[in-house]
Structure 1
Amino acid sequence: MSHIIHQSTTQHIMRRMLRCYATSPFAFLFRTIEIQAMVALAARHGIDLTDQVAVDVGCGNGALGQAFIRQITLGFDLSRTDVLHVYRHKSAYRHAICASATAIPLSAQSQPVVFSNSVIEHIPDAAATWDELARIVQPGGWLILSTVSEQFPALMLGTPAPSASARAELDRSYAHYHYYSVATVESDLTRRGLTLVDHTTYIDPRQARQSHQLRLWEQQQRTTSTLQHRYQQLRRVPVTLQQLRYLSPVETDPGNGAALAIVARRV
Structure 2
Amino acid sequence: MSKAANIFIPTSNRLNSLKKCLDSLDRQSLKDFTILLAGMKDDEKIQKLVLSYKKLDIEYFIQSKSGLIGAANEALDRATCEIFVRIDDDTTMHPEWFRSMVEAFKRDIAVGGVTGPTIMNQAGLHSRDLTAVLENFKNSENWVLKLVYKIYNNYLYENKMYEVSTFLKSGVFTLGSNYKECLKIEKPLEVSNLEACNWSARTSLLKQIGGFDTIYIKGLGDYHEADAALKIQRLSYKLIFDPKVSLEHHVESGKVKKARPAPYHRIQNLLIFYFRFFRIANIDQLFRFLVNLTLQNTYYFLNFFRTGSVDQLGALFGTVVGLYRVIIKEDYRYSVAKQRVIFCSDANLETKVKFPSLKVKMVDTEELFKVYDHPSAVLFRALELKMMYESVKEYEFLGPSLDVGCGDGLISSMCFAGKFTYGVDNGEAKDVEEAIKNCRYEKIFLEGAEQMSLKDESVNFVFSNSVIEHIPDNDATLSEIYRVLKPGGYFLFTSPSAYFSEYLYVSQLLAQVKMNFLIPLYVKYRNKMLNHYHLYDHKSYAKKLEARGFKLVSYSYTITKEALNLWDKMGVLSFARRFFDHNANSKITSHYKQEINGLVSKGKNSKVRGADLLILCTK
Q: What TM-score range do you get, normalising by the shorter chain?
A: 0.7 to 0.9
Describe the superposition over 1:155-190 as per-residue Cα deviations: whole angstroms up to 9, x where unpaired.
Answer: 124548873222211211221111111111111111
Map of 1:172 onto structure 2: 528
Asked if 1:118 corresponds to 2:466, the answer is yes
Deviation for aligned residue 1:48 = 4.7
Map of 1:244 onto structure 2: 597
Over 3 Å counting, the alpha-carbon distance change for 1:53 and 1:255 in structure 2 is farther
TM norm structure 2: 0.38
Distance in structure 1 (CA, Å) of the matches to 2:388 and 2:368: 14
Distance in structure 2 (CA, Å) of the matches to 1:155 and 1:48: 34
Q: Which runs of 5+ in 1 are unaligned?
A: 1-8
Alignment of 1:72-221 (within 5 A): 72-79=420-427, 81-89=430-438, 91-157=439-505, 158-159=507-508, 163-221=519-577
Map of 2:377 onto structure 1: 27
Classify the secondary structure of the residue corresponding to 2:455: coil
Q: Which runs of 5+ in 2 are unaligned?
A: 1-360
- Greater relative CO, 1 or 2 (CA 8 Å, sep 6+): 1
RMSD: 2.3
Distance in structure 2 (CA, Å) of the matches to 1:221 and 1:206: 23
Asked if 1:67 corresponds to 2:414, the answer is yes
Distance in structure 2 (CA, Å) of the matches to 1:244 and 1:146: 21
1:216 aligned partner, one-letter code: V
8 Å CA contact 2:570–2:588 kept in 1: the answer is: no
Deviation for aligned residue 1:27 = 0.3
Map of 1:265 onto structure 2: 618
2:416 aligned partner, one-letter code: I
Which deviates more, 152-161 or 71-80?
152-161
8 Å CA contact 1:41–1:263 kept in 2: the answer is: no
Deviation for aligned residue 1:15 = 3.2
Deviation for aligned residue 1:87 = 0.8
8 Å CA contact 2:574–2:588 kept in 1: the answer is: no
Q: Which has the larger radius of gyration?
A: 2
Distance in structure 2 (CA, Å) of the matches to 1:238 and 1:167: 24
Describe the superposition over 1:90-138 as per-residue Cα deviations: whole angstroms up to 9, x where unpaired.
Answer: x442322211011111111221110011111111111111111221111
Number of residue equivalences: 247
Over 3 Å counting, the alpha-carbon distance change for 1:254 and 1:30 in structure 2 is farther
Distance in structure 1 (CA, Å) of the matches to 2:615 and 2:400: 15
TM norm structure 1: 0.84
Alignment of 1:226-237 (within 5 A): 229-230=581-582, 232-237=583-588
Deviation for aligned residue 1:254 = 6.2
8 Å CA contact 1:60–1:83 kept in 2: the answer is: yes
8 Å CA contact 2:504–2:565 kept in 1: the answer is: yes
8 Å CA contact 2:497–2:536 kept in 1: the answer is: yes
Deviation for aligned residue 1:244 = 1.1
Over 3 Å counting, the alpha-carbon distance change for 1:193 and 1:73 in structure 2 is same
Classify the secondary structure of the residue corresponding to 2:553: strand
Over 3 Å counting, the alpha-carbon distance change for 1:48 and 1:30 in structure 2 is farther
1:263 aligned partner, one-letter code: L
2:437 aligned partner, one-letter code: R
Deviation for aligned residue 1:220 = 2.3
Distance in structure 2 (CA, Å) of the matches to 1:66 and 1:94: 13
8 Å CA contact 1:16–1:68 kept in 2: the answer is: no
Describe the superposition over 1:211-254 as per-residue Cα deviations: whole angstroms up to 9, x where unpaired.
Answer: 111111222244x13xxx52x33334435222211110321116
Over 3 Å counting, the alpha-carbon distance change for 1:133 and 1:84 in structure 2 is same
Deviation for aligned residue 1:26 = 0.5
8 Å CA contact 1:121–1:177 kept in 2: the answer is: yes
